[in-house]
Amino acid sequence: MTADLPIIRLRPKSKPQAIRHGFPWVFADELVTDRRTRTIAAGSFAILEDAERRPLGLVTVNPNSKIIARMMDPDPEVRITRDWIAVRLSRALEMRERLFDKPFYRLIHAEADGLPGTIIDRFGDAAVIQPNAAWADTMVDDLAAALRDVTGVSTVILNGQGRARSLEGLPERTEILSGAVNGPVEVSMNGAIYLADLMQGQKTGLFYDQRPNHAFGQRLAKGARVLDVFSHVGGFGLAALAAGAESATCVDGSAAALELARGGARAMGAEARLTTRQGDAFQQMEALAEEGAQFDVVICDPPAFAPSKQALEAGLRAYERVAKLAAPLVAPGGYLGLCSCSHAADLSNFRNASSRGIGRGGRRMQLLHTGQAGPDHPTLPQLAETGYLKALFFRLDG
């Protein structure tokens, strides 16, 4: 029974159809937020009703967030327990085990896998949880226990960093919940070896979402000179070396990330073909142009320049600038890959900004391929934010 749970209600002008059809969020201006609602503790559960008092499901509530409620289950009678979490984890694991022959993947992709605001990446016997919603932060011990039971991992790390947590009013924290971490983890992907720092690295330590785009880049890289800008731990660069690239140059602002890239190249026996340049990516591209450097393949995978609608215009200008600076570095007939992980910049906006930049860089182009995140990052069609990654591959003439 759910008689002990609070009830929250949509405003009369709010449309419940979106919730009934799978949209998982309720924004603060869509909810009746009286004094009682505002006193609900962040991360608690409640019954969501429409304006006519008809139940829509069980939600988690955070009065400190613009997303004041997230749908947990359309059945208002359920209880969110460790067993309930285990069912969601088991469903997600079954799909990943069908897709991948090694236990290196995103296991939980938030709302798309039925665990709102929660990211879990698996690294063999270790897993990293990002509890980016208040309920997941409150129940992280249950999440970790269910994760160990379902997957058999022994090491579980809580990575509580990043913008998403700040929007929820959650503090930053990183800790080992179980097991031990003894240095970077080797991850084999597309024939390359990456080193993932699960404690100090960006996000969870590795970006699994680019796996299929790394693979497409490999098709262009055999025998090529490759430039990987915003490389992190060598994502596109190491993939290119694994595919037989003549050389790869990785550019990143993080010295620690580039050291991991070099470690990955050493593990592959390809260190002699890898060059790294540490510094601001825009400045490094300008310096390479002044040096007269050109590459057969250039790929730029920057951070989210447009993380919100408010940042969209500035973000699109930044993506255009990336393309403008990168285009002259591509040898005639070579290839340029441009990526965006900004959900606020949709594919059309990003493609237009990239094309403008290439044109301003004095080059003509053919768009060969449009990529997205891999299948371990499923999308929820009702929630555009789950389909955030875009990758464009061009052939440049002139």
Same domain, 278 and 363: yes
pLDDT at residue 225, rounded to an integer: 98
Same domain, 218 and 258: yes
CATH number at residue 267: 3.40.50.150
Give the containing element (helix H, strand E) for 194: strand 192-196
Please give the Cα distance from 142 to 250 (Å, whole number). 40
Q: Among 19, 42, 73, give the residue marking a domain's end.
A: 73
Please give the Cα distance from 339 to 324 (Å, whole number). 14
Q: Which residues are catalytic?
A: 341
Please give the Cα distance from 129 to 107 (Å, whole number). 10
Q: Is residue 1 part of a domain?
A: no
Dihedral of the CA atoms 258, 301, 382, 317 (nearest 10)?
Answer: 130
Q: In what order do the strands lie in the sheet with 247-252?
A: 274-278, 247-252, 225-229, 295-300, 330-340, 390-397, 364-371
Q: How far is residue 194 from each of residues 123, 237, 261, 310, 366, measured CA to CA in Å?
A: 11, 11, 7, 35, 31
pLDDT at residue 163, rounded to an integer: 87
Same domain, 316 and 391: yes
Q: Would you list the DSSP string of 280-293?
A: -HHHHHHHHHHTT-
Same domain, 136 and 202: no
Confidence of residue 2 (pLDDT cuts 50, 70, 90): low
CB 197 within 8 A of CB 123: no
Q: What is the pTM of this model?
A: 0.95
Please give the Cα distance from 131 to 128 (Å, whole number). 10
Please give the Cα distance from 313 to 320 (Å, whole number). 11
CATH number at residue 56: 2.30.130.10
b/e sequence 132-144, b meaning 16+ C-beta within 10 Å: bbbbbbbbbebbb
Q: Among 148, 178, 208, give the residue marking a domain's end.
A: 178
Q: Among 159, 178, 197, give the residue marking a domain's end.
A: 178
Structural domain containing residue 104 = 82-178
User: Residue 24 is encoded by which pair of tokens?
Assistant: 């998982």
Q: How far is residue 168 from each of residues 43, 172, 184, 314, measured CA to CA in Å?
A: 10, 11, 30, 24
C-alpha of 377 from chain center = 8
Give the tens place of pLDDT for each residue, 75-102.
Answer: 999 999 999 999 999 999 999 999 999 9
Give the strand pairing for 274-278 and 247-252.
parallel
pLDDT at residue 256, rounded to an integer: 96
Q: Is residue 347 part of a domain?
A: yes
pLDDT at residue 88, rounded to an integer: 98
Total domains in the fold of the chain: 3
Give the tens place of pLDDT for each residue, 229-278.
Answer: 999 999 999 999 999 999 999 999 999 999 999 999 999 999 999 999 99
C-alpha of 347 from chain center = 16
Confidence of residue 3 (pLDDT cuts 50, 70, 90): low
CB 43 within 8 A of CB 135: yes
CB 148 within 8 A of CB 107: no
CB 120 within 8 A of CB 62: no
Same domain, 152 and 290: no
Same domain, 46 and 86: no
In the chain, what percentage of residues exceed pLDDT 90? 90
